[in-house]
Structure 1
């Protein structure tokens, strides 16, 4: 199954204000497709958000709105396991945008690469995307939606190679992580499965 990495940048504090999206698809070994687009959120931009991602309001004036892009996005996310770094943010942007335009939710599975990275590479100082990239000597332009999505894929490709597994499904099974799911107007978050503990046998003493 393909890995479909997705990353949003937003215009302001509202999750329904995506102003850019990056999608990168990998077969687990190599990148096989990429997609990037600015998005017109039809909202004002907050100076802090501009500082973070560098996208100015004037740049998105002629960009498509989320609902106009949705048919393209949907084709990507319905053909693999969707992965995002700090997925709670990106999945909330997706849901809020679908709600805003009254679009039906897709039925899809997704992973959080922060949750997965903590199981794959325990003991790191932090699990921010730029920190993980530094550890793996990956250079990129942080907070560019396409480059962020690409780094997530590169990290997962490295993890698959390191653990001598063939697919993302085998990797998450190996590390006891369950996928989250999105379905109509609801969702379930990714989780680390509880390890089964073996019960010790012992005799019960009589008083």
Structure 2
């Protein structure tokens, strides 16, 4: 299976404040390429809480490109591809918001959430956070580094393919009662996971 795994880090609570991005390319079930860039947010304000999570400061990005410059490299990597992210609702929200902030059109691609897939594939785990999954699966991870997180998300998804004996996203989503999300020129459709059972009364 082929896909792109993606991760953003943000400077503050505003979803358009992307300050770094990591991508890894998976071809035929193997990671073959990677991309990483720091990003100077349009409104270059860093919340100390966010910096405490990922370690990126305003000074770190002063000479970095803004997102509209980075987008020229990212667009061909994403358009028409299957994209994976862990907690994809966050990363896709960051992408949509930063594209809107720069008046850039949305690309068209489908996406899947490795968090939703992990919950469906391994329901007995206490937590499905990326760092805990990486520990269980013995995936090296420097958490909240965008490239490291993207690589770990890719490896988690590959393990889910292996454990479910599926070889495509269509068969994986069917097996796990999931639905792919989409981003397109007119908006987006969120990825959906298996609904939790209602508690019996």
TM-score under structure 1 normalisation?
Answer: 0.88
**Separation in structure 1 between the aligned mates of residue 194 and residue 129 of structure 2, nearest angstrom:** 22
Distance 1:28 1:165, change over 3 A: farther
Aligned to 2:73: 72
**Separation in structure 2 between the aligned mates of residue 80 and residue 6 of structure 1, nearest angstrom:** 12
**Is the deviation greater in 179-188 or in 49-58?**
179-188
**Separation in structure 1 between the aligned mates of residue 79 and residue 146 of structure 2, nearest angstrom:** 19
Aligned to 2:150: 149
**Superposed displacement of residue 29, structure 1:** 2.0
**Superposed displacement of residue 28, structure 1:** 4.7
Q: How many residues align?
A: 194
Aligned to 1:56: 57
Aligned-residue Cα RMSD (Å) equals 1.5
Whether the 8 Å CA contact 2:117–2:160 is kept in 1: the answer is: no
Whether the 8 Å CA contact 1:20–1:39 is kept in 2: the answer is: yes
Structure 2 residues not aligned, in runs of 5+: 196-201
**Is the deviation greater in 117-126 or in 178-187?**
178-187
Aligned to 2:110: 109
**Separation in structure 2 between the aligned mates of residue 146 and residue 191 of structure 1, nearest angstrom:** 25
**Separation in structure 2 between the aligned mates of residue 10 and residue 28 of structure 1, nearest angstrom:** 31
Are 1:140 and 2:141 matched, yes or no? yes
- Segments ≥4 residues shifted beyond 6 Å: none
Aligned to 1:31: 31
**Separation in structure 1 between the aligned mates of residue 28 and residue 130 of structure 2, nearest angstrom:** 19
**Superposed displacement of residue 178, structure 1:** 1.1
**Superposed displacement of residue 191, structure 1:** 1.5
Give the 3-state SS of the residue equivalent to 1:177 in structure 2.
Answer: coil
Are 1:47 and 2:48 matched, yes or no? yes
After the TM superposition, which residues 1-207 of structure 1 pair with which residues of structure 2 at under 5 Å, given as runs? 1-42=1-42, 43-192=44-193
